[in-house]
Amino acid sequence: MTLRFSKHTLANGLDVLLHEDRDCPIVAVNIWYHVGSKNERPGHTGFAHLFEHLMFEGSEHHDRGYFQPLQGAGATLNGSTNADRTNYWEVVPSNALELALWMESDRMGHLLPALTDAKFSNQRDVVLNERRQNYENRPYGLAPMALLAALFPPDHPYHWTTIGEVADLHAVTLDQVHAFFRRYYHPSNASLALAGDFDPDAALALVDRYFGSIEPGERVTPVRQTATLAGETRIFYEDRVELPRIHIGWLTPEMFGDGDADLDLAADLLANGKTSRLYKRLVFEERLATDVSATQNSREMAGYMQLTATASPGHSLAELERVMLEEVAKLAREGPTDDDILCGRMQAEAQFMFRLQTVGGFGGKSDQLNAYNVFLGNPDYFDRDLARYNAVTKASLAESLVRYLDPARRVTLSIVPQGRADLAASDSTRVAVV
Amino acid sequence: MKRTTFESVDRTRLPVPGPPRPLTFPALEKSVLSNGLRLWTVRHTQVPLVSLLLLVRRGAASDAPGREGLAAMTADMLDEGSGLSSAIDMHQKMARIGAQFDTDIGSDATVASVTVLTRFIEPALSLLSDIVARPALREEDFARVRQLRLHRLKQLRDMPATVADRAFLRLLYGDQPYGHSPIGSEPSLASMTIDDVRAFHRSAIRPSDATLIAVGDTNHEEIARIAAAAFSDWTGEAQDGPAESGSLPAPSPLTIVPRPGAPQSELRIGHVAVPRDTPDYHALVVGNMILGGQFVSRINLNLREDKGFTYGARTAFEFRRRPGPFVLQVGVQTAATVRAIEESIGELSAIRGPRPVTPEELSLATAALTRGYARNFETAEQISRGAMQIALYDLPDDYFAQFVPSVERVTCADVTRAMAAHLDPARLTTLVVGDLDAIAPDVGRLALGDPAILGADSF
């Protein structure tokens, strides 16, 4: 199940990845800029994401909404920002490929003349509302702020969330926005992937025509910063919730790093689905929790594993914490079963196949090629990525658990109902989250 | 300054797309198994995956009064084991073949679906039949699942958008079949027994009104053979759910569910509208795109892009087998609550005539619906979900092929007439889940009368 593609680099440094797939008369245009909230500094958070919004507000030669012409051609489109990168994509009928390239290249090469103070302050209001909707007015919604702040030190680029701090968003100026664009939004900090119904030679010529004359810009030095947890941090905050919840977080290897696949599978074995160990014990048998989940969050510089469980009424976070740590320790001690490894491989094969179904959108083939190209410098990684999961053994998974999920080096976060600080896990310190 | 010399790009105008490559719509092959189960298949060979979907046309609207939540509870119990095997055994079997399994419950349907590597189609169908036709429905599993659902209800009270959705259905439909969300309520779940679930499974989850849809790299005869064996012992006639009785309630024009200190107000504005089989379906789909069905809709451009009140606003006619609601939904910053309601009601009123749909709006909405239609046929699961719509709403076999011409026939006058016929400002109900103290001083401006105050635990 190899993903066939060709890679070209334009004279200005823009990487171009082409994957031909003629099944459906559509083309995915997917562009990654290697910039995310990790390129921000304390006091200036939320910038990369706010900027993503401004990319949809028009550029010099089309100084109107970005959506209208593309939607009029039958496209669907979106963008997203995370800690490590910002992506933008359109899925267009094959006949509208040139239109999409015109639009993407105009906002890469000619955004600033159209970027006014009015657009900027409107989109800041929209982002503040996005923050209210997805974080502040959502139960447990501020958990990422508290967890990341405790896992990574204040000067580490993963200390803050992508949405940013309210005070920082209010402090941003239009000049800073311009400087940010010049620094990060240019061909040598971008990767363009096309997947779908097109002729590769003709498509490459079109890409060169539209993007080739854009100034390369200065290469961006990758951000590199390590983080370690010296001990255990126990914190809590009060929220408008009915049931208390506990998060346990550990620092883990970076994306594609040694142990990353082990911990990804370990997360599934611990807490994802009815067959997982923690679901069986906490939800199915002992009924201490209403839900439980686990994620290995792999990022470019570092990862973090997060276990989450919500207490059933009448049960305490202390009970949950004890069982969660017991099951982690047991899996580390005994390792997974043969059946676990078999299921893990089968899931990996199916998951990788699911990703091959779509040319575009979040996680489709074009997005996948860009991920490999931007993070590894090598888009030809699909098979090797799957091989990482097939290489996981009982011993390697157990070793990674012992090495990374150390109960003495973790963050334990309790979220409790208003006025019920007594429900937090023992010895927790109150933290302010906003 | 910028280098402009060798750029051979004409940036004075946008490229105009050439003629589209024609799309061949997937063909449905149909047969009926001896127990009455309809089998529909579509060949889709791009990736070695198969999407299996079993649609039973009974859902939350089949819940009897006092048994709200029963259909959803039954759907939740389907994968809790079969025969002597436990829920965990069943899920272990799915994990061994890397199957992705899901159940969905709606007002009119219960759906169990599995996506799996093609080579596992036989065990996947066997598991699907265990789930739908032979669930164990054990008392001890029921007690656990009910408890989880009661906890879930408790947690949903913290989620303003869900509180708004649940309260709004209650305001619009009262005790009618569409008046509750599938999960039901604390009292109805508390009084429910495993016998209710068994009875619902026996009377509603039956092959006579069910369709098995399979999309993938496989042929109809092979699936028919495997399905006939897997579902052979599933028999019986599905009984109808409760009929509508009496009339719809007449809710207060403005209702507030207090959420002290909330940074945003969740708004729902709408009324009961039309069923899926309305002859105005395509005109309403186009009209809704313009009003609130896309990023560039009037409502979103007004409330988000012009005013900055929200992260996003949208409207929908929820087409169902019986008349479903029209709803505008938006979360706005608390201080903008009253202005957002004024602007919203203004937009709903304007599109019916005062500010009718323009030819430019019509052509953009029509193009978005028709030129992008091919995207809906990329994956096996998209195609099986599309076929499910045909089965659920008794649409014609050539529905996919007819969609684009039907949309292209819609005129501005059609949209204005359909909106005027099915959107009535005088009947609108507005619901706010938000900080009452902060909003109260301004609501008088709305001329909607004194707001009714609804406790978060009263529905």
Of the residues A12, A22, A24, the best mutation for testing chain B's interface (the one with the most B CB atoms within 10 Å of its CB) is A24
- The pLDDT value given to residue B270: 98
The letter for the amino acid at B432 is V
For residue B445, what pLDDT band results from cuts at 50, 70 and 90?
A: very high
Collect all residues of chain A within an 8 Å Cβ-Cβ radius of residue B46. Answer: 23, 357
Cross-chain Cβ contact A354/B3 below 8 Å = no
| pLDDT score of A272 more than 70 | yes
| pLDDT score of B1 more than 50 | no
The model's pTM: 0.95
Cross-chain Cβ contact B95/A273 below 8 Å = yes
117-176 of A, contacting B, C-beta below 8 A: 121-130, 132-134, 136-139
Cross-chain Cβ contact B155/A241 below 8 Å = yes
- The pLDDT value given to residue B8: 75
For residue A108, what pLDDT band results from cuts at 50, 70 and 90?
A: very high
- For A228-256, give the DSSP string: ---S-EEEEEEES-SS-EEEEEEEEPPTT
What integer is the mean pLDDT of B340-350? 97
Nearest chain A residue (CA) to B335: A129
Mean pLDDT of chain B: 95
Nearest chain B residue (CA) to A109: B2
What sign results for the dihedral spanned by CA atoms B339, B341, B347, B350? negative
For the record, the structure tokens of A238 come out as 């009060």
Question: Which of A276, A262, A261 has the alpha carbon at shortest distance from A308?
Answer: A276
For residue A3, what are the contacts with CB-CB under 8 A and spacing of at least 6?
A: A19, A356, A365, A368, A369, A382
Cross-chain Cβ contact A133/B331 below 8 Å = yes
The CATH number of the structural domain formed by A6-211 is 3.30.830.10
The letter for the amino acid at A166 is V
Question: Domain ranges in chain A?
Answer: 6-211, 233-430
Nearest to A132 among B12, B152, B333 (CB): B333
Question: Which of B335, B296, B337, B310 has the alpha carbon at shortest distance from A125?
Answer: B310
Cα–Cα distances in Å, from A342 out to A269, A279, A339, A347, B58? Answer: 12, 20, 5, 9, 37
For residue B9, what pLDDT band results from cuts at 50, 70 and 90?
A: confident
Collect all residues of chain A within an 8 Å Cβ-Cβ radius of residue B12. Answer: 61
Cross-chain Cβ contact B308/A122 below 8 Å = yes
Any idea which fold B254-453 has?
Cytochrome Bc1 Complex; Chain A, domain 1 (3.30.830)
Instruction: Label the pairing between strands B38-43 and B29-32.
Output: antiparallel
Do B58 and B205 form a contact (C-beta atoms < 8 A)? yes
Class of domain B29-230: alpha beta
What integer is the mean pLDDT of A33-40? 98
Label residue B243 exposed, middle or buried (CB < 10 Å: 0-12, 13-18, 19+). Answer: exposed
Strand ranges, E, within B318-427: 325-333
Residue B333 pairs in a beta bridge with: B264
| pLDDT score of B249 more than 70 | yes
Cross-chain Cβ contact B154/A243 below 8 Å = yes
State the complex-level ipTM.
0.94
- The pLDDT value given to residue A217: 93
Collect all residues of chain B within an 8 Å Cβ-Cβ radius of residue A207. Answer: none
A62 touches B: beta carbon within 8 Å: yes
For residue A243, what are the contacts with CB-CB under 8 A and spacing of at least 6?
A: A290, A310, A311, A312, A313, A417, B151, B154, B155
For residue A232, what pLDDT band results from cuts at 50, 70 and 90?
A: very high
What integer is the mean pLDDT of A370-381? 97
What integer is the mean pLDDT of B124-128? 97
What tens digit of pLDDT does each residue of B388-443 get? 999 999 999 999 999 999 999 999 999 999 999 999 999 999 999 999 999 999 99
Collect all residues of chain A within an 8 Å Cβ-Cβ radius of residue B3. Answer: 213, 215
Nearest to A273 among B12, B91, B370 (CB): B91
Collect all residues of chain B within an 8 Å Cβ-Cβ radius of residue A132. Answer: 263-264, 311, 331, 333
For residue B242, what pLDDT band results from cuts at 50, 70 and 90?
A: confident
Collect all residues of chain A within an 8 Å Cβ-Cβ radius of residue B314. Answer: none
Cross-chain Cβ contact A105/B157 below 8 Å = no
- The pLDDT value given to residue B5: 42
Cross-chain Cβ contact B375/A26 below 8 Å = yes
For residue B3, what pLDDT band results from cuts at 50, 70 and 90?
A: very low
B146/B149 Cα distance (integer angstroms): 5
Do B178 and B322 form a contact (C-beta atoms < 8 A)? yes
B365 CA to chain A: closest CA distance, Å? 7
Nearest chain B residue (CA) to A96: B17
A205 touches B: beta carbon within 8 Å: no
What integer is the mean pLDDT of B333-359? 97
A308 CA to chain B: closest CA distance, Å? 15
For the record, the structure tokens of A130 come out as 């996005």
For residue B7, what pLDDT band results from cuts at 50, 70 and 90?
A: low
What integer is the mean pLDDT of B154-172? 95
B56/B392 Cα distance (integer angstroms): 8
For residue A1, what pLDDT band results from cuts at 50, 70 and 90?
A: low
Do B274 and B422 form a contact (C-beta atoms < 8 A)? yes
What tens digit of pLDDT does each residue of A312-335 get? 999 999 999 999 999 999 999 999
Judged by average pLDDT, the poorest of A99-103, A301-305, B412-416, B452-456 is B452-456
Domains A6-211 and A233-430 are alike in CATH topology = yes
Helix (H, G, I), strand (E, B) or coil at A274: coil
What integer is the mean pLDDT of A352-369? 94
Cα–Cα distances in Å, from A185 out to A369, B96, B230? Answer: 19, 45, 56
Nearest to A76 among B9, B92, B375 (CB): B375
Size of interface A-B (CB pairs under 8 A): 221
Nearest chain A residue (CA) to B45: A23
What tens digit of pLDDT does each residue of A393-431 get? 999 999 999 999 999 999 999 999 999 999 999 999 999
For the record, the structure tokens of A416 come out as 């409790």
Do B117 and B92 form a contact (C-beta atoms < 8 A)? no
Judged by average pLDDT, the poorest of A26-30, A384-388, B120-124, B236-240 is B236-240
Cross-chain Cβ contact B9/A126 below 8 Å = no
Nearest to B159 among A102, A139, A213 (CB): A139
Q: CATH homologous superfamily for A233-430?
A: Metalloenzyme, LuxS/M16 peptidase-like (3.30.830.10)
Do B240 and B290 form a contact (C-beta atoms < 8 A)? no
What tens digit of pLDDT does each residue of B71-97 get? 999 999 999 999 999 999 999 999 999
Cross-chain Cβ contact A242/B157 below 8 Å = yes
Cα–Cα distances in Å, from B163 out to A248, A381, B146, B311? Answer: 29, 45, 20, 19
Where exactly does CATH 3.30.830.10 map onto chain B?
Answer: 29-230, 254-453
Q: What is the DSSP letter of A276?
A: S
Cross-chain Cβ contact A275/B91 below 8 Å = yes
For residue B459, what pLDDT band results from cuts at 50, 70 and 90?
A: confident
Nearest to A72 among B148, B151, B367 (CB): B367
- The pLDDT value given to residue B244: 78
The letter for the amino acid at B250 is A
| pLDDT score of B6 more than 60 | no
What tens digit of pLDDT does each residue of A52-81 get? 999 999 999 999 999 999 999 999 999 999
